[in-house]
Amino acid sequence: MNYKINKIELEENGYSILTDLYSQNEISEILACIENAEQVENSFMRTKDLFAIRQLITNVPELSDLLFNKKLTELISDLTESEYFLTKAIYFDKPSESNWFVAYHQDLSITVDQKVELENYVNWTFKKGQYGVQPPVQILEDTITIRIHLDKTDKNNGALKVIPKSHLNGIIRADSKDWNLENEFICEIEKGGAMLMKPLTLHASNRTTNRKKRRVIHLEFNKYRLPKPLAWLEYYNIKKPVYNHSY
């Protein structure tokens, strides 16, 4: 797996695709762990079109060792020149009969522990017991999103569509002429693969039409310490695994 190529693609195009981040056995263990999790009222959301778990590592801590395997920790290390840590983790299950779609957008919000009046921190929200805020654009530009695919995903079951290089235009207004859909690319991902993305990359997904599941774990990483007294709600320091070497 050539992480250097993925890093170049990510920086230039705003996204990159990996095919074999997790084995089939690892995916089965991850799914079993999620299915056996005790459901917490505010963090678990279930409708006919979507099942989601917010603050995934906080609510299902057993997942951390399964998710942060050797390949993922090496990937993060190779993508970044400084120490990155986890800032957000969400599990999405788009059921086979889902009629849910998402229009083109950028991911502009981070989750934090409290609401504080700070310069350049705007558009505050409070949903499901957690605060969200749009931070200074540099924090968004330096965020790395890794979407782990627990099912094979294609255009028929909600694969993300992206506009390559759109992350280079900063924050784009909904009525902007920068919403050029001619270059749209559909990110089809194998089971056990992953999609790397910059949050300012314009992305969307269609309804499911082939009655197949699309289960994804969405992870966001950053390197910035927020100005006190503000803190990342889901801060998680990535532990480097120790491997025994036999000679």
Residue 246, pLDDT score: 43
Residue 200's nearest CA partner among 170, 222, 160 is 170
For residue 7 the two structure tokens come to: 């890093």
Residue 137, pLDDT score: 97
For residue 156 the two structure tokens come to: 């028929």
Q: How confident is the model at residue 178 (pLDDT cuts 50, 70, 90)?
A: low
Residue 128, pLDDT score: 85
Instruction: For the domain made up of 3-222, give the CATH fold.
Output: Jelly Rolls (2.60.120)
pTM for the full model?
Answer: 0.91
Domain locations in the chain as residue ranges: 3-222
- Tell me what the mean pLDDT of segment 120-130 comes to: 94
pLDDT in tens, 148-161: 999 999 998 889 99
Residue 193: partners with Cβ closer than 8 Å, 6 or more residues away: 17, 18, 19, 20, 21, 149
Burial label for 204, CB within 10 Å (0-12, 13-18, 19+), is middle
pLDDT in tens, 86-109: 999 999 987 666 666 788 999 999
Residue 111's nearest CA partner among 236, 238, 240, 237 is 236
CB 59, CB 34: distance < 8 Å: no
Residue 39: partners with Cβ closer than 8 Å, 6 or more residues away: none
For residue 11, is pLDDT > 50? yes
Sequence-distant contacts of 22-28: CB under 8 A, at least 24 apart: 22/69, 22/71, 22/148, 22/192, 23/192, 24/191, 24/192, 26/66, 26/69, 26/192, 27/150, 27/191, 27/192
Q: How confident is the model at residue 245 (pLDDT cuts 50, 70, 90)?
A: very low
Residue 206, pLDDT score: 85
Helix 70-79 to helix 3-13 angle (10° resolution) is: 50
Q: How confident is the model at residue 30 (pLDDT cuts 50, 70, 90)?
A: very high
Q: How confident is the model at residue 181 (pLDDT cuts 50, 70, 90)?
A: confident
Burial label for 86, CB within 10 Å (0-12, 13-18, 19+), is buried
Q: How confident is the model at residue 47 (pLDDT cuts 50, 70, 90)?
A: low
pLDDT in tens, 53-86: 999 999 999 999 999 999 999 999 999 888 999 9
